[in-house]
């Protein structure tokens, strides 16, 4: 063989071996669950058949004895009658609207595991319409008052009355200008100054949703690094844009996105050895449940939900990720849309002691109105190249910097500096950790298999028994006047204006709901039942259905 051909062959073999090692390391850096393998999760989701329990199977699916079944049936029927009497207008309007509103069709179908959904929807339907809020409560169109545990998906940080005031103030402030777009109201300048001071970063861009802010952050990171790959961590949510939501829920492959395991040395090695990674996205909410998706009752098929925060360990992990990013020229993006201003005044950066390259905000920052914000280093925020005038990074939006949104945002930012707000941040973590401990003590005192885990004012409910019916708790909580979002007990979000008296009432009602659920037999389980045996039983059921047995 000619020496040049031999040289090329040897070089190609070396390149192939190196590429092979990179692929192996990437595979090892993924979390072993399906959430860490997006293509496989989508394939398996497409394989799973519909199983719809009839009334008899519904109450007996775990092999409960007939005396327990009778308790369940009685408890379920009692709730069904109660809901019909208490929520007639809400249920009627929801049913009327559902056929024309796809959002209602989706959320109404995924409140509980799909095997139970039809029977629950037919009998325990809940109204989607509310008409009033005050303090920490919300009132539905039937006049029922609920303690709000939804947090409006994280928007409600300071209490609904505060946001009503911000919106009213905003409308008055920009009334003379109105919805003029393209030009800027002077309030924008103050927002920019305040956001720069809060973050220690250089420049700001405004958007209309958190998803859009993340899209812009990723696009700019790719533009400036000239690299294509994005890293997210297993279970983390960064909006519904396809590039950052691989797997179930996204109909196309996100081939330029790597989903790596958190708290993983292999993940750090992957970041340290690849040359094609533009950015790493961090959602601090994952500290409550690393490597797991946001918990929802529609996936609560057993008692396997796990949660708990080790703040020191997670902070160390984030610092190690940030260090590797600095060394490798990877943009470190802190997605603080959910946790921003909730964990600390300066958000997760302050809470975990970080200095990111870019931060995305949304939700509460808009003062109750739709918004998204990206703040970053000047060299990363620039959308054009001085030496290549046609090579730009485009990002615009009709409603970006809308006057009413900018004024409501300004009202929020000024509220953030008010003495009464600063007082809320004093001892914030200790206060909410103590409240979680208070809830757990109450639950333990009545011997129910339920506990809570929290990241400050963001909570999730965990279950200590291998039951197929843990998801039923959301309906007993509704009976007690506790309002949850469509993900049920997976996410409870408190506003910071909850007083001790308000919270004590929630504890009383929550505990009473658990006692009533226990008395109705939903937490019965066979002596040899485990979460693993439940999952295996469900798998056998699905296989039988799939192959017509």
Among the residues of 396-472, which ranges form H helices?
Answer: 403-416, 419-425, 428-445
Cβ partners under 8 Å of residue 310, min gap 6:
287
Phi, psi of 362 (to 5 degrees): 180, -150
Could you tell me how far CA 39 lies from the centroid of its own chain? 21
Could you tell me how far CA 405 lies from the centroid of its own chain? 23
- The two beta strands, 145-148 and 482-483, are parallel
Closest CA to 279 of 244, 247, 235: 244
The strand pairing partners of 280, in sequence order, are 231, 332
Distance separating alpha carbons of residues 327 and 333, to the nearest angstrom: 15
For the chain, the straight-line distance linking the first and the last C-alpha, in angstroms and rounded, comes to 62
Q: Which residue has the tokens 């009752």?
A: 297
pLDDT at 549: 67
The series of mean pLDDT values per 10 residues for the chain, 549 residues long, is 46 58 79 79 88 95 97 98 97 96 92 96 94 98 98 96 98 97 97 98 97 97 97 94 87 89 96 96 96 93 95 97 98 96 97 97 96 98 93 89 98 97 96 98 98 98 97 98 96 97 98 98 96 95 87
Domain coordinates of the chain in residue numbers?
55-157+427-536, 187-291+312-425
Distance separating alpha carbons of residues 281 and 424, to the nearest angstrom: 29
Digit-coded pLDDT (tens) for 243-300: 888 888 888 888 899 999 999 999 999 999 999 999 999 999 999 999 999 899 999 9
| pTM of full prediction above 0.85 | yes
Structure tokens that stand for 201 in this block: 């970063």
Q: Would you call 138 helix, strand, or coil by DSSP?
A: strand
Phi, psi of 149 (to 5 degrees): -115, 10
pLDDT at 1: 47
Distance separating alpha carbons of residues 150 and 482, to the nearest angstrom: 9
Q: Would you call 278 helix, strand, or coil by DSSP?
A: strand
Cα-based angle 357, 360, 365 (whole degrees, multiple of 5): 135
Distance separating alpha carbons of residues 1 and 497, to the nearest angstrom: 79
pLDDT at 17: 55
Cβ partners under 8 Å of residue 440, min gap 6:
451, 452
Q: State which fold the 55-157+427-536 domain adopts.
A: 3.90.1150
Cβ partners under 8 Å of residue 502, min gap 6:
135, 136, 147
Structure tokens that stand for 19 in this block: 């590429």
Cα-based angle 319, 325, 326 (whole degrees, multiple of 5): 90
Q: Which residue has the tokens 């090692």?
A: 21
Q: What CATH architecture applies to the domain 187-291+312-425?
A: 3-Layer(aba) Sandwich (3.40)
pLDDT at 242: 86
Contact by Cβ (8 Å): 276, 313: no
Distance separating alpha carbons of residues 463 and 456, to the nearest angstrom: 20
pLDDT at 247: 85
pLDDT at 30: 81
Tell me the torsion sign for CA atoms 506, 508, 513, 514: positive
Distance separating alpha carbons of residues 238 and 336, to the nearest angstrom: 10
């Amino acid at each position: 063989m000619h020496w040049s051909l031999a040289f090329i062959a040897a070089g190609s073999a070396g390149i192939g071996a190196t590429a092979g090692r990179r692929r192996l390391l990437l595979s090892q850096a993924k979390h072993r669950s399906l959430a860490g393998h997006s293509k496989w999760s989508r394939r398996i989701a497409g394989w799973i058949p519909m199983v719809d329990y009839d009334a008899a199977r519904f109450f007996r699916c775990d092999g409960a004895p007939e005396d327990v079944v009778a308790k369940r049936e009685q408890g379920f029927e009692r709730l069904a009658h109660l809901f019909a009497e208490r929520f007639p207008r809400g249920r009627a309007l929801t049913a009327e609207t559902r056929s024309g509103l796809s959002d209602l069709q989706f959320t109404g179908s995924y409140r509980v595991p799909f095997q139970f959904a039809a029977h629950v929807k037919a009998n325990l339907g809940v109204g989607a319409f509310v008409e009033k809020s005050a303090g920490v409560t919300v009132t539905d169109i039937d006049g029922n008052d609920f303690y709000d545990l939804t947090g409006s998906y994280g928007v409600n940080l300071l209490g609904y009355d505060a946001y009503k005031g911000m919106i009213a103030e905003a409308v008055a402030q920009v009334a003379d200008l109105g919805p003029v777009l393209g030009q800027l109201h002077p309030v924008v300048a103050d927002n920019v100054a305040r956001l720069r001071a809060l973050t220690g970063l250089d420049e700001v861009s405004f958007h209309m949703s958190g998803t859009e802010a993340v899209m812009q952050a990723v696009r700019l990171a790719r533009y400036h690094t000239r690299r294509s790959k994005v890293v997210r961590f297993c279970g983390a949510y960064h909006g519904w844009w396809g590039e950052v939501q691989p797997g179930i829920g996204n109909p196309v492959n996100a081939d330029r996105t790597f989903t790596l395991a958190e708290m993983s040395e292999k993940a750090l090695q992957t970041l340290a050895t690849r040359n094609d990674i533009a950015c790493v996205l961090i959602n601090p909410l994952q500290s409550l449940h690393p490597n797991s998706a946001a918990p929802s009752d529609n996936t609560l098929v057993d008692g396997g939900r796990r949660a708990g925060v080790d703040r020191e360990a997670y902070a160390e992990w984030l610092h190690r990720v940030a260090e590797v990013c600095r060394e490798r020229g990877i943009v470190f993006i802190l997605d603080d849309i959910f946790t921003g201003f909730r964990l600390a005044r300066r958000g997760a950066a302050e809470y975990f002691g970080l200095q990111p390259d870019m931060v995305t905000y949304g939700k509460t920052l808009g003062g109750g109105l739709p918004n998204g914000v990206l703040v970053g280093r000047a060299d990363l925020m620039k959308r054009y190249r001085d030496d290549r005038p046609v090579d730009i990074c485009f990002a615009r939006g009709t409603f970006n910097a809308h006057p009413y949104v900018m004024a409501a945002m300004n009202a929020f930012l000024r509220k953030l500096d008010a003495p009464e707000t600063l007082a809320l941040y004093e001892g914030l973590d200790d206060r909410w950790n103590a409240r979680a401990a208070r809830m757990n003590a109450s639950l333990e005192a009545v011997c129910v298999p339920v506990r809570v885990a929290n990241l400050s004012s963001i909570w999730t409910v965990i279950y200590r028994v291998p039951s197929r019916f843990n998801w039923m708790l959301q309906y007993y909580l509704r009976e007690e006047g506790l309002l949850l979002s469509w993900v049920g007990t997976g996410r409870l979000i408190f506003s910071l204006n909850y007083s001790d008296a308000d919270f004590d009432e929630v504890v009383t009602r929550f505990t009473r709901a658990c006692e009533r659920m226990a008395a109705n037999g939903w937490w019965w389980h066979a002596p040899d039942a485990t979460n693993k045996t439940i999952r295996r039983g469900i798998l056998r059921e699905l296989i039988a259905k799939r192959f017509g047995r």
